[in-house]
């Protein structure tokens, strides 16, 4: 598929535990020279047990998305989701000004935030390049994003991880280099 000008949306999906976060971290490392905006979500573990999810931005900011110890009416499974803290974290990410936005992940917890849903929609509709992981099976807002005509959805498997990383990295570089030379 060819892309006219800047603006490309790539969503990476796959079964839980298939390596989506590691995949995005590797792609972000390859594209670090393009100064991506966005974040990855990492597990918080204690004595081998998952206790919650931390947020780490590409500019070094950290935050907590959800934790078993968070008291919140908004819950996903055993995790309380701290939407105000997540939205404060999002405020400083400068997603609107970025040429490349990388998000891990667009999932049920993250979509509890109206600001997050707005920022994702803005990125999808903007001339930036968006690379994001997205839940394999999700809520209606997640499924609606995957059904958009302006996104390409790739399913990550152990057997296609290397090839897909190369494909995504090359497409992003190509689109952003072409946009930089014409604008």
Residue 172, sorted as left (phi over 0), alpha (psi -120 to 50) or beta, turns out to be alpha
Q: Which domains does the chain have, with CATH numbers?
A: 9-178 (3.40.50.300)
- The tens-digit pLDDT sequence of the chain (183 residues) is 333 344 699 999 999 889 999 999 999 999 999 999 999 999 999 999 999 999 999 999 999 999 999 999 999 999 999 999 999 999 988 887 899 999 999 999 999 999 999 999 999 999 999 999 999 988 898 999 999 999 999 999 999 999 999 999 999 999 998 876 554
Q: Identify the three-state secondary structure at position 36.
A: coil
Specify the pLDDT at position 166: 96
Q: What does the DSSP 8-state code read for residue 102?
A: E
Residue 136 token pair: 């394999």
CA dist list (Å): 181 to 126, 128, 178: 19, 15, 5
Cβ(63)–Cβ(126) below 8 Å: no
């Amino acid at each position: 598929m060819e892309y006219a000008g800047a603006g490309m949306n790539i969503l990476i999906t796959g079964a839980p535990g298939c390596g989506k976060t590691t995949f995005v971290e590797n792609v972000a490392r390859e594209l670090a020279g393009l100064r991506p905006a966005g974040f990855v979500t990492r597990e918080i573990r204690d004595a081998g047990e998952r206790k919650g999810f931390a947020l780490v931005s590409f500019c070094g900011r950290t935050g907590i998305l959800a934790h078993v110890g968070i008291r919140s009416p908004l819950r996903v499974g055993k995790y309380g989701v701290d939407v105000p803290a997540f939205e404060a974290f999002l405020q400083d990410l400068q997603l609107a000004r970025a040429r490349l936005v990388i998000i891990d992940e667009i999932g049920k917890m993250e979509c509890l935030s109206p600001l997050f849903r707005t920022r994702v929609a803005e990125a999808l509709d903007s001339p930036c390049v968006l690379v994001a992981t997205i839940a394999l099976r999700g809520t209606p807002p997640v499924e609606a994003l995957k059904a958009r005509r302006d996104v390409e959805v790739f399913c990550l498997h152990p057997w296609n991880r290397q090839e897909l990383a190369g494909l995504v990295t090359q497409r992003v570089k190509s689109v952003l280099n072409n946009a930089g030379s014409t604008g």
